[in-house]
Amino acid sequence: MSAGVDRRWAELARELEFSQLDQLRKQAEGWRNGLIGLTALVAVLAVLKGRDDLSRLPSPWQTVATSLLGAAFLLLVAGSLTAVRASFGKPGEVLHLGGQSLRKWTLTEIRRVRRALYLSTVAFACGMALVAGALGVSWTHTEEPAADLVKVSTSAGEFCGRLVSYVPSEVTLLPTSGDTTKPLVIRAPDVRKITPATAC
Amino acid sequence: MSNPAHDQDLKYQQVGLGIVDDVFQVVADTDGITVNGACPRCHGKTSTTFPKGVAGTKGLFSRSRAEPPSVAEQAALKATETFFCECGFAHTGQPENTLFEGCGAQWKVGPGSTSGSGIGGTP
């Protein structure tokens, strides 16, 4: 390395000695903005998590969607923190302020920043893909609640189906499974309770 | 052997002296490392301090922050850094805005020298 370059690095290190507080304040400001962004990310995820909630998903899909969202959340948080670290450095870092030490640290930091940028991009892409997957599962597998589904409790047991008619003498249901075309007629004296149902 | 007197008539010149014998003393504490000795060009007393500052990495909750640098760390710094004459005397022709007030010489300290390679702890 030429004498001029050595001198330049040494001068840079010496100037850095007098601008440390400014550097730290800028770093703190960057981290603060990054953490605010992270909070916004959590809010966005809460909005994007699906139609109303995941509780209307049938059994296996509820677990799938929840897992996808959990993994997406972790990836997006990790990606955000990595990007903030790439932009504003690692808090609390110190070294001896000499020209060659600064030069060595700068070269190492360049490698770290490049790697952090790559990792944050990958984490963001994977996180968004998982969010999209969870949304897809949510939209394609959420069951609309049927307004006319009821559960009828009788002395002989419980029956579930679509309510067709209710007259003082009997209750008529259309079963949702088995032979769905044959109405089920239950005599009124046998009926103990009728409750609305979201599924049979 | 007596040390040569400080040649204050020497004109300022940014000149590289290459690798010189290690006749420099190192003093270290928790705040940084200081290398003392005589400028190989003008023979004035020169002292260069490498304070600890923001940039390197020791982690967020570094335990070594309050400890003085190890002997190996001191030796590594002395072997890698470039030193500049900081005798404090404004030699003729010295630029006004220089960060190193001296005769303009710069050098590196060679390893395995014969004398005076004192590496010490807290003064």
pLDDT digits (tens, 9 = 90+) for A161-171: 888 888 888 98
* Percent of chain A's residues with pLDDT above 70: 92
What would the pLDDT profile of B54-87 be if each residue is shown by its tens digit? 764 434 444 445 678 888 889 888 989 999 999 9
Give the separation between CA A177 and CA A157, rounded to whole angstroms: 16
In chain A, residues with a C-beta closer than 8 Å to the C-beta of B58 are 92-94
Distance from CA of A95 to the nearest CA of B (A): 4
Report the pLDDT averaged over residues A136-158.
Answer: 81
Q: CB-based contact (8 Å) between B92 and chain A?
A: no
Report the pLDDT averaged over residues A62-91.
Answer: 88
Give long-range contacts, CB 8 A cutoff, 24+ apart: A31-36: A31/A84, A31/A88, A31/A91, A34/A80, A34/A81, A34/A83, A34/A84, A34/A87, A34/A88, A35/A84
CB contact under 8 Å between A101 and B77, yes or no, is yes
Query: Hey, where are the domains in chain B?
Result: 15-51+63-109
With a cut of 0.85, is the ipTM above it?
Answer: no
Q: What is the pLDDT of residue A18?
A: 83
CB B97 within 8 A of CB B6: no
CB A161 within 8 A of CB A175: yes
Query: How far from chain centre, in Å, is Cα B58?
Result: 24
Lowest mean pLDDT among A46-50, A53-57, A138-142: A46-50
Read off the DSSP letter of residue A175: -
Q: What is the pLDDT of residue A82?
A: 92
In chain B, residues with a C-beta closer than 8 Å to the C-beta of A27 are 54
Please say if the pLDDT value at position B122 is more than 70: no
Q: State the residue for tokens 């770290």.
A: A112
CB contact under 8 Å between A90 and B60, yes or no, is yes
Global pTM value:
0.63
Element holding B123 (H helix, E strand): none
